[in-house]
Amino acid sequence: MQASACQCQQPEGCTPNWGQLTCAETTKLLSSTIEAIGDTPLVELTRLARGRAGRLLVKLEYLNPGFSKKDRIARQIIEDAEADGTLAPGQTVVELTSGNTGTGLAIVCAVKGYPFVAVMSKGNSPERARMMRALGAEVVLVEQLPGSQPGQVSGGDLELVEQTARRIVVERGAFRADQFHHRGNFRAHYLHTGPEILRQAGTSVDAFCDFVGTGGTFAGCSAALKEANLKRNVTLSSQPARPCWPVSRLRTRITASRAAGTR
């Protein structure tokens, strides 16, 4: 990659930076991995949009430390719970997860010193379980219903995981992160992801498209973008959809993807 002259106005001797970043950003020393969450790049897909009106922008959320946008909600839920006193220092954190939220929580909890228990169906990805364990989490795997297929987690399987998660919360006096109901899920995207998109795009956004699980990203980003004149949002439902977060009253189209029910 070609280095360009730095725009940061630092005294002489500053290292040239890449692309649009100032050297202050490229050389910023972070105090923990938590600070590396968010501020992901927004990329314009110029070839895909060639010959069409408008611009197509994608946010590279896999560049978060835990490889998904769920790191954002892990940080927000934990920090909101610290702030309102529902999470005490050193208290165990429990979450039902198929992997991504658990990975984010494993990172945030490890840095902040909370024991973390991820409760997951045996039908979910074994690699995810290994990754969470490697990050310091305790992973409790729950058997699937008789006749279930690994890789295909049914509503019945999830009910068993839910029961186990509830039991562990009671037994350990734990804090349940509860991405389906905790406001930190919505707030992570309303306070950060949406405003980042606006800042990076440098303009308002006409349409927003997202895969929906809990609906936290969709609702939070839509609310932030709507304040800057979003006209339309589109959701692709990738999970056995039970979104909990209110979808905005914008023109909304919900499309069930082929993967529906298989994650």
Q: Which residue is nearest to ligand PLP (CB)?
A: 213
Alpha-carbon gap, residue 8 to 70, rounded angstroms: 31
The distance of closest approach from Cβ of residue 211 to ligand PLP in the complex, given in angstroms and rounded to an integer, is 4
Alpha-carbon gap, residue 39 to 19, rounded angstroms: 16
Please give the structure tokens belonging to residue 98: 């198929």
The distance of closest approach from Cβ of residue 230 to ligand PLP in the complex, given in angstroms and rounded to an integer, is 17
Alpha-carbon gap, residue 223 to 248, rounded angstroms: 7
One of 59, 70, 112, 226 is an active-site residue; which one? 70
The distance of closest approach from Cβ of residue 100 to ligand PLP in the complex, given in angstroms and rounded to an integer, is 3
Query: At 116, is the secondary structure helix, strand, or coil?
Result: strand
Instruction: Write out the residues near ligand PLP by the rule CB under 6 A.
Output: 68, 70, 100, 211-218
Which residue's CB is nearer to ligand PLP, number 68 or number 154? Answer: 68
Which residue's CB is nearer to ligand PLP, number 92 or number 97? Answer: 97
Query: At 33, is the secondary structure helix, strand, or coil?
Result: helix
Which residue's CB is nearer to ligand PLP, number 12 or number 127? Answer: 127
Q: Would residue 70 show up in a list of annotated catalytic residues for this protein?
A: yes
Which residue's CB is nearer to ligand PLP, number 17 or number 68? Answer: 68
Query: Which of 242, 192, 225, 211 lies closest to 75, judged by CA?
Result: 192
Alpha-carbon gap, residue 242 to 234, rounded angstroms: 16
Question: Which residues, 6+ apart, have CB-to-CB distance to 100 below 8 Å?
Answer: 66, 67, 68, 69, 70, 128
Catalytic residues: 70
